A and B are shown apart, each in its own frame.
Chain A
Amino acid sequence: MAYGNKKFRRFGSEASNVKPDGELDYKNIPYLSSLMSPQFRIYPRKRTGFSGKDQRKLKRAIKRARFLALIPYTS
């Protein structure tokens, strides 16, 4: 990450390169649930450690699963 540039610096931990352990697909409910809090909120990048690309995939997958009532919107 660009640590020199104050405007775009990510606070918290240093950039990590965590890759998803499973497919970020709306049908993969057990894995998506592991990336959500018990109240079904999506964990932030700081917590998942995903790249921006993977985090967006996660967001999309979870929102699709919510639409199909596979995961609740709230607890």
Chain B
Amino acid sequence: MKTYEAMLLLDNREVKKGWDSLKEKVDGVFKKHGAEIIVAKRWDERKLAYEIKKQRRATYYLAYIKASPDSLAKLNFDFKLAEPVLRHLLLKVDEVPAEAFEPEKEFQVEASTEEETGASEKTEKPEEELTSEGESLAVDVVAEVVSASEVEVIEESVEGSTEASLEAEDEGSSPLSEGETKND
């Protein structure tokens, strides 16, 4: 029996369904292959540096286990198949670090905020994109309206005299060009 460190990336959708049941499921995989769990805790819930299986966030689960070297291949195989596990890493360690025995930090708080942050970020990002797009669209619309109104005013003055129409055309071209620069 040797000591190993296992880091698992768990799908947040599964975490939201219930942490305890998921923990049981994951620990069950360890136990199935005769591994003895020394410490197992949720390490962090964070944004991933890149998407894994279309997921932007994940819960990190850190476990220290005692297992026979033969069972490692089976554990690796099972974690690869397990759907809630996005990714996993099994490493040999000489001894369990002292930090591992510290209780989970702010588990309850993060568990409650986790869903909020996870959900809010998912909703916030599209909103931000929408607002930025909306603002730019609004600016475009305003620029078009301004140029259109100016053109109308000019056209009204055009009806007065033919001489003014030449000037009006010159004027009419300049606001349009301004509108184009505003669009840019």
One of A68, A71, A72 near B87 (C-beta < 8 A): A68
Instruction: Answer whether residue B50 sits at the interface, using C-beta atoms and an 8 A cutoff.
Output: yes
Instruction: Answer whether residue A27 sits at the interface, using C-beta atoms and an 8 A cutoff.
Output: yes
Query: Which residues does chain B contribute within 8 Å of A72, judged by CB atoms?
Result: 49-50
Most buried by B among A27, A64, A69, A70: A69
* B residues whose Cβ falls under 8 Å from a Cβ of A: 7, 9, 43, 46, 48-50, 52, 58, 60, 62, 87, 89, 91
Q: Would you give 8 A-B contacts (Cβ < 8 Å), ordered by A?
A: A64-B91, A66-B49, A68-B60, A69-B48, A69-B87, A70-B46, A72-B49, A72-B50
B49 touches A70 (CB 8 A): yes
Query: Which residues does chain B contribute within 8 Å of A26, judged by CB atoms?
Result: 7, 89
A68 touches B50 (CB 8 A): no
Instruction: Answer whether residue A73 sits at the interface, using C-beta atoms and an 8 A cutoff.
Output: yes
Main secondary structure of the interface of B (DSSP, over half): strand
A66–B46 Cα distance when bound, in Å, is 14
User: Measured between C-beta atoms, what is the minimum distance from B102 to chain A in Å?
Assistant: 13
User: Measured between C-beta atoms, what is the minimum distance from A61 to chain B in Å?
Assistant: 11
User: Measured between C-beta atoms, what is the minimum distance from B88 to chain A in Å?
Assistant: 9
A69 touches B43 (CB 8 A): no
B47 — nearest CB in chain A belongs to which residue?
A: A69
Instruction: Answer whether residue A3 sits at the interface, using C-beta atoms and an 8 A cutoff.
Output: no
Q: How many contacts between A and B, using CB within 8 angstroms?
A: 29
* A residues whose Cβ falls under 8 Å from a Cβ of B: 26-27, 64, 66-73
User: Measured between C-beta atoms, what is the minimum distance from A68 to chain B in Å?
Assistant: 6
B49 touches A67 (CB 8 A): no
A27–B62 Cα distance when bound, in Å, is 10
One of A67, A71, A73 near B89 (C-beta < 8 A): A67
B49 — nearest CB in chain A belongs to which residue?
A: A72
B52 — nearest CB in chain A belongs to which residue?
A: A69
Query: Which residues does chain A contribute within 8 Å of B60, judged by CB atoms?
Result: 68
A68 touches B43 (CB 8 A): no
A26–B91 Cα distance when bound, in Å, is 11
Q: A69-B58, A73-B49 known; 6 other A-B pairs, CB under 8 Å? A: A66-B49, A68-B9, A68-B87, A69-B49, A69-B87, A70-B46
Query: Which residues does chain B contribute within 8 Å of A73, judged by CB atoms?
Result: 49-50
Query: Which residues does chain A contribute within 8 Å of B43, judged by CB atoms?
Result: 27
B50 touches A69 (CB 8 A): yes
User: Measured between C-beta atoms, what is the minimum distance from B35 to chain A in Å?
Assistant: 20
